[in-house]
Chains A and B, each alone.
Chain A
């Protein structure tokens, strides 16, 4: 089946630094990648949708300059949290869409900003 590899699974960073999260589709080409944020015991909140080779579409209220998304190839999308602050601490999940496999989710990244 389709697999999306998300790294790192956990990261702790200092306030003011930037963190990059990668999602790779291992055996299929993901024309569309979705990035979500999830707080404990809450639902997934869609942050942005990215299509390969084009700019990401951000949801209302999501700062595009803070959460940089790059989808440079059909198998790789990255989310960079710039100048991270403690309030950015959360669980981030990516999901790749393939018309044959449907939605495949990464295993998530727990970000802690100290």
Chain B
């Protein structure tokens, strides 16, 4: 079974600085998707970024980028120019690329609570 591990329960960053959140996963599949979700105090889950395993190029979305190391099964999130609004719980998630049934489910890590200091 696939597992997702986030080894940093809490992180803190100064406003305008850069922070990297770690995520590792375990799978025997060769094709899959990886995600980073943000959950602010409102508890609404928001997609931050998504990476397809067959793509070697790291995904980027404005200030958010990932470092995807497939061989190492690592998928870290870098937040540049941190803003107060980035403070939230961040979850790494995995999904099999196979379509149908229970394989569509997201497997979440335990989360990293990010604090942004003014």
Interface residues of A (CB under 8 A from B): 32, 34, 38, 41-44, 46, 49, 51, 57, 91, 93, 95, 97, 102-103, 105, 107-108
Contacts and interface: CB of A to CB of B under 8 A. Distances in A.
Contacts of A108: 43-44
B47 A43 contact: no
Contacts of A41: 89, 111, 113
Contacts of B102: 49, 57
A44 B47 CA distance: 14
Contacts of A44: 45, 91, 108
Contacts of A91: 43
Contact of B50 (A38, A102, A107): A102
B118 interface: no
Interface string B75-118: 00000000000000101000000000110111111110100000
A106 B104 CA distance: 17
A43 B111 contact: yes
Given A41-B89, A43-B91, A57-B101, A95 B106 contact: yes
Contacts of A34: 105-106
Contacts of B42: 107
Contact of A42 (B45, B106, B110): B110
B113 A95 contact: no
A64 B94 CA distance: 25
